[in-house]
Amino acid sequence: MNRMIINADLGKLTISRHLYGHFSEHLGRCIYGGYWVGGDSPIPNTRGIRNDIVEALRNIRIPNLRWPGGCFADEYHWMDGIGPREQRPTMVNTHWGGVTEDNSFGTHEFLDLCSQLECEPYICGNLGSATVREMSQWVEYVNFDGVSPMADLRRENGRADPWGVKFWGIGNENWACGGDMRPEFYADQYRRYACYCRSYGENRLFKIACGPCGPNYEWTEALMRGIPRGMDGLSLHYYCGSGEESRSATQFSEIDWFHQLKRALVMDELVTRHTVLMNRYDPEGKVALIVDEWGAWHAVEPGTNPGFLYQQNSLRDAMVAAVTLDILNKHCERVRMANIAQTVNVLQAMVLTEDEKMLLTPTYHAFEMYKVHQDATLLPLDLETEDYQMGEESVRAISASASRDADGKIHVSLSNANPNKDIDVTCEVRGVDCAGVIGRVLTADKMQAHNTFDQPEAVKPVEFDGASLTGGKLLVKAPAKSVVVLAMK
């Protein structure tokens, strides 16, 4: 019933490490009270950035970080966030809680964060409410090495060398918070703004257009038709919401579990259909599909600011991450970057903080287990799975992906969405002789299990002894509601 064939000698495509990217916005306690505590804080930090968060994110090999938004990006004026901090003007963060943004975390601080994380920065520019000149000057400030007004200003602000940022977003959600535009109008605006974002020196910019929200195929079609060149990536945003009856991150029933996973699996259809459209206009696959916002979106934790989007994170969220990453892996030919929202203290976060305390969420652990797929070769996988049934509806019970890394090691990630039943999966591994298998599993007694500041290790991966390998046949007993990652050599 549950069978898999892995063709270990037939892999052709690389799973870009950038599929495992992240997104952090000036929203709630993501930046302030999250990464950024300031240099005078008693919380251990390097130039104002929390050391424990940096260490945790380096451990999952964070490949890139998208910033400063989100909706915030299209009202952000980058020049307000450079120069002496005490002289930076303030602004109102109208989208997120109406709080005052003091601009103490700006371009230099963000790029310092990326260098501490050893990840690639992905800057999202303001097309909605800033000028072409402003976006063009930001690129010049960050990337130009010669003598120019912006490069000189950067030097005055203490940074001699350009950073050489490659990934630039030209606006965010311009169909809504980024200017409420029609697709044809946005396509023309994109062409104009992107035209003045120059590549300096060896660094060729990778320009990303604001793509659709979920199933808005008209938006994709209008952009693919309207922007025949000068677009390296087209973004896609898809949030899979929360439960069906409860939107709480931790107080939910099996109905909510089921519907959350059902909605997460919709990513497969979205990516497939947007890819079909892109193939029509771009058969050579030059334009990447960039899923630069995705994840679960629950109700905020009781008593917290509704505009801060602070939510807990349970085993269910780890399942959402696992099935989504499997889908992204599968589509890695067209999907070359993705960014889960939003890393710290916001939406489906990797880490939560409370003053000096920090915890790792179940989603963090899924990312940590899946990091083995980064830059590995995707191995073709045929999967036959039973369904996980809920009343009249069903989803596939098992999701999986397989890859081979640079050392020849084969990794199989596999999750069982059924919270009530262990499932035996038989797997034929063709084209290689592997001597043994080891693995880890992430599961818990309850679907709602999560980590708290009092019990930060309630959900974490442990060694897995439910897999065996004999004569090319792999047998896996996938525990109910679990994520398993296996390594074979």
Q: Which residues are catalytic?
A: 173, 293
Please list every residue from 54 through 73 that binds ligand AHR, using CB under 6 A.
Answer: 69-71
**Alpha-carbon torsion (262, 265, 270, 276), positive or negative:** negative
In whole angstroms, the minimum distance from the beta carbon of 274 to ligand AHR comes to 17
* Closer by beta carbon to ligand AHR, 341 or else 429: 341
* Closer by beta carbon to ligand AHR, 25 or else 368: 25
Instruction: Please identify the residue of the shown chain whose CB is closest to the bound ligand AHR.
Output: 70
Alpha-carbon distance of 349 to 305, in angstroms, equals 17
**Alpha-carbon torsion (384, 385, 386, 392), positive or negative:** negative
Burial string for 143-181 (b: 16+ CB within 10 Å, else e) reads bbeeeeebbebbeeeebeebbebbbbbbbbbbbebbbeb
In whole angstroms, the minimum distance from the beta carbon of 27 to ligand AHR comes to 6
Q: Does 340 bind ligand AHR (CB under 6 A)?
A: no
In whole angstroms, the minimum distance from the beta carbon of 402 to ligand AHR comes to 31
Out of 75, 268, 293, 326, the only residue in the binding site for ligand AHR (CB under 6 A) is 293
Q: Site size for ligand AHR, by CB under 6 A?
A: 10
* Closer by beta carbon to ligand AHR, 98 or else 149: 98
Q: Does 31 bind ligand AHR (CB under 6 A)?
A: no
Alpha-carbon distance of 408 to 431, in angstroms, equals 12
In whole angstroms, the minimum distance from the beta carbon of 214 to ligand AHR comes to 11
Q: Does 341 bind ligand AHR (CB under 6 A)?
A: yes
* Cα within 13 Å of Cα(214), Cβ side: 10
Alpha-carbon distance of 253 to 459, in angstroms, equals 18
In whole angstroms, the minimum distance from the beta carbon of 348 to ligand AHR comes to 10
Out of 172, 242, 343, 415, the only residue in the binding site for ligand AHR (CB under 6 A) is 172
∠57-59-61 over CA atoms, to 5°? 75
CB atoms within 10 A of CB 467: 23
Stretch of 51-59, 184-192, 260-268, 341-349 contacting ligand AHR, by CB under 6 A: 341-349
* Closer by beta carbon to ligand AHR, 306 or else 436: 306
* Closer by beta carbon to ligand AHR, 132 or else 213: 213
In whole angstroms, the minimum distance from the beta carbon of 174 to ligand AHR comes to 10
CB atoms within 10 A of CB 435: 7
Residue found under tokens 């996973």: 261
Q: Does 25 bind ligand AHR (CB under 6 A)?
A: yes
Q: Does 120 bind ligand AHR (CB under 6 A)?
A: no
Applying CB under 6 A, the residues found at the interface with ligand AHR are 25, 69-71, 172-173, 293, 341-342, 347
